[in-house]
Structures are given as structure tokens and as C-alpha cells.
Amino acid sequence: MKILVTGAAGFIGSHTAEFFAAEGHEVYGVDNFSTYYSPKLKELNKNDIEAAGVHLVKADLTEDLQKKLPDAFDYIFHFAAQPGISATTSLDEYVRNNIFATQNLLDWTKVACPSLKLFVNIATSSIYGKEATLPETVLPKPISFYGSTKLAAEQLVLGEQRTGKINACSLRLYSVYGPRERPEKLYTKLIKSIYDQTEFPLFEGSEKHSRSFTYVGDIVKGMAAVIGKEQKINGEIINIGSDVEYTTQQGIELIEKIIGLKAKLKITPPRPGDQLRTTALIDKARKLLDYNPETAFEEGLKKQVDWYREKFL
């Protein structure tokens, strides 16, 4: 199969591209190497996935993609987005990178990939709102620019599917962690602060927040499970995550246990738009994709600590 992964130098996209290449597929990745965080970190991912056989193209999805990308893909996995909940990221950036970029990719897809089997949109539990503990059938109530624009991107993709222009589905991911996690995300940031013996900023009250922390390897298995099931999942929205919850405090304590050192916590004001609780209801994923996350939380965190040690210490 010929597969395109957008955002392929990022956290989850790099793991997915690498997995498909290892399975023997012809895999192309595209990434714009945004300065949202240090492009040097994406360069590390780039080296890993190119070593695995992924063809990586540096391009922005708002550009003329006919000049940048090959054509005739069988599957497209669309990870690229303006990520996270950040007070320093403008609405314009979320709209450009999550909405306009998605529509430009769709317009290119309809011309360049006439035999496309499935367009897989990668969405987020942030679409649900303050408490992402709900089935896919509920009315989304996002509370952040990120959640709102990712919902809009999802509907752009499914709108093309509803009008019969492409086969598509949307996978809503829950609190992914593991090797290559972005530097501003919880565990990479925490691990770095412990090894550097610097203060770790903890949003007030967030230690009580609970999450369906899901190991990236289990997420990739969910991605891979769509191959060959395009007729079954065409038009579907599917939660992909773990149905086991842990609090932020429990995660901090596990990292401290694995490393053998205590974190220096500094309480900071609450972050607007943050979710209070997520737990993935994955009955649909189990039924349609035979999806079953298997990695224990502590096991996954140990793999992330090991990765950090290898790359940065």
C-alpha cells in the first residue's frame, strides 16, 4: 500500500509512519517543521523515520501540494495540526493550521488520489469539552480554540465523505504519551525538569485532573487497524484511547518512582480551556477495529523515560 502521513515528524505521526514502513508499505510523510517547539526535536524524529524507510517531504499543507507531493495514495493519515492549549497561540494560527490546511489537503486529495481507499482524520478528545467521558454520538462542546478548530477540521473531512467525494473516518485520540512526546506536554516536561533539577510548573488543581493516558504504541495499533476496513468504518467517528483513568498526581508519582528522584513542583494559575476529566469509551473501537490497548501505564512511562535518557542525557 502507498500511505501518506501528515505531521510525520511529530510525536504520533512519526510513530505511525515508522510502523507502516516497517510493515513493508510505501510510506511518505509531510511536515512543515513548525517553530511551535524546537525544530531540532523534529529532526531527531526525522532521522528515525527516514532510517525506517519513510520518504519525508518538508512542506506546509496550505501550499500548492501538487508541486510538493507525489500522488495516487491508498491511505492518508492526517495528523498535522496546530497542537495544544496555549495562551500564546493565536486563533489565526489554529484556524490556518487546523481548518485551512485540512481543506487544502482535501482539495488536493480529490484530484491527486482518485483511488484513495480511506482518508483518516486524526481528531482529539478535546472536541468533547470539559469532560471527555462520552460516546461518539453526543453533541461536542469544545472549550478551547484547539478543540473548536479540530472539530471544524473533522467536519470538513466528514462533509466530503457525506457528499460521496471520498471515503473517510475520524479517530478521536485520548491523552497520548510515550517516546517522542512533545516537549511542552506533561511527561516529557516533567522528566526534563527532574533530571535538570528545575521547577516543574503545575497548574493549580490539575493534580486532581484524570486522564485516559494512552501509550503511543497502542494508539498506532488503532491506526493500523483501519487498513482493509474502509467499508466498515467509512463515515464513522471512533474514540481511540485507554478506558483506564489516572490522575495527574498519580502520573507524577510514577515518574518519580521510575527515575528515583522527586520533582520540584511550582503551582501556577489554572490554564483556561483545560479538561477536568477524560476517559475513553472505546466500545465502538473494540467492535469495529478489534482495538484493545494493552500497555500498562507504568510500563509506558518507563519506555518514555528510557527514550529521554537515550536522546538527551
Residues 6+ apart with CB under 8 A from 278: 125, 128, 131, 132, 133, 174, 175, 210, 211, 212, 241, 245
**Encoded amino acid at 254, one letter:** L
- Angstrom distances, CA of residue 88 to CA of 83, 261, 271: 12, 31, 12
* 243, 282 Cβ separation under 8 angstroms: yes
**Rounded to an integer, what distance in angstroms lies between the CA atom of residue 274 and that of residue 266?**
18
**Facing residues of 27 across strands?**
3
Q: Hey, what's the cell of 12?
A: 504520533
Beta strand pairing call for 131-132 and 55-58: unpaired
Q: Hey, what's the cell of 214?
A: 494512552
Residues annotated catalytic, as ranges: 146
